[in-house]
Amino acid sequence: MKMKKEKKFATRKRFYFFLAAVSLAAVLVVGGYTLAPKWAKATYERELGTGELRGTHLPTPEAVRGIYITSCVASAKTIREKILKEIEGTAINSIVIDVKDYSGRISIPTEDPTLVTKDSKGCFVKDMEQFVAELHEKGYYVIGRISVFQDPVYAKLHPELAVQKKDGSVWKDRKGLAFIDVSARPFWDYIVKIGKESYNLGFDELNFDYMRFPTDGDMKDINFPWTLDMEKKEALRQFFGYLHKQFRDSKAVLSVDFFGMTTTDTGDMNIGQYLEFALPYFDYIAPMVYPSHYPPSWNGLANPAANPYEVVKYSMERAYMRASSTPHKLRPWLQDFNLGATYTADMVMAQMKAVYDSGLTSWMLWSPSNKYTAGALNFAK
């Protein structure tokens, strides 16, 4: 009984912290640290759909070492140039950029009237195609981050597809954010369109976040009008399969973000995220193993945030075992922000070392403010 309560608390706490982090990401402006090597050659790809030759694409590095920047930062040339200058010459070889953020706003230019760009409110990156090309010229592998089922913008336009209260009105979490029901198939096509537009602009990889059912809010007054009584992990598996099928004939690389504790929890944590159901459909799985998002006493650690090596090592070792024949698909998000402890360069590098000691080679750093710890960015295996 105690274990069940602890798991429930862990899930809720991790969600609160993660939601706070991505909320900050939408409003904070940056001074960061980043890099790029020289090797990868850009190749021209044909559009998914009818298309003429358009964007260029780089192959996935054998070891991805990435940072994340928000669409707001990407839209501000002076800030993004500052970040690129500060990371130049470090071990970073990949950059993740918001295409559709946690609020549902889309940052890329598109001529498709069904894609909602009018609500971007200042974080629209009108020169995204040129920016991606510039990053390619510098040798960076570029990943487009697409937040999926948490989408207040789409829920406002299509309330019939949203997670609902029992009275039929749109359900919202404690932050006032609405979700789309995982099984709402018309929304699936919307996500695919965004992914294809992003790939056409030159993004090398599509990274899908918020691929889950909601957890933070009044869970007693919640209804899933499309999923109904289907098991949550099965509902998500069906969407995974649909995405895989839609991009199967392209060269687009697909990745998905999972809560960190999905590596050690053998259920779906009541959010539908089940590692074994995702592995067949994605090129990479990115567990968000931020030590600050683990509850006190997890795995015997009084304050997991103060023990970054232990948290990441244990989590990724378990993921490695569960991934069985495809452990190379694992590429965790690591913490580079202060929460639960003040994160020094040594603490950031301790997480990287834990990844390497787990038999893995790739990682991405998450900082909601896009400020990265300069002293940690040269730590490569």
pLDDT at 71: 96
Given a contact cutoff of 8 angstroms between Cβ atoms, the answer to whether 348 and 304 are in contact is: no
Given a contact cutoff of 8 angstroms between Cβ atoms, the answer to whether 278 and 258 are in contact is: yes
Tell if the pTM clears 0.85, that is, is over it.
yes
**72: nearest Cα among 41, 102, 114:** 102
pLDDT at 41: 42
Taking each continuous run of H as one helix and of E as one strand, the counts in the chain are: 10, 10
CA–CA separation, 311 and 351 (whole Å) = 8
SS3 32: coil
CA–CA separation, 356 and 346 (whole Å) = 15
For the chain, give every domain's residue range: 2-98+107-144+185-210+232-376
pLDDT at 119: 67
Count of CB atoms within 10 A of residue 338's CB? 14
pLDDT at 118: 67
pLDDT at 278: 98
pLDDT by residue, tens only, the chain of 381 residues = 434 444 444 444 444 444 444 343 333 333 332 323 333 344 434 344 434 435 689 999 999 999 999 999 999 999 999 999 999 999 999 999 999 999 999 999 998 988 866 666 668 999 999 999 999 999 999 999 999 999 999 999 999 999 999 999 999 999 999 999 999 999 999 999 999 999 999 999 999 999 999 999 999 999 999 999 999 999 999 999 999 999 999 989 999 999 999 999 999 999 999 999 999 999 999 999 999 999 999 999 999 999 999 999 999 999 999 998 999 999 999 999 999 999 999 999 999 999 999 999 999 999 999 999 999 999 986
Calculate the alpha carbon distances from 309 to 338, 339, 378 in Å.
16, 16, 17
Question: 2-98+107-144+185-210+232-376 adopts what CATH topology?
Answer: TIM Barrel (3.20.20)
User: Which residues have C-beta within 8 Å of that of residue 44, sequence separation ≥ 6?
Assistant: 53, 55, 56, 57
Q: Measured between alpha carbons, how far apart are the two ends of the chain, in Å?
A: 42
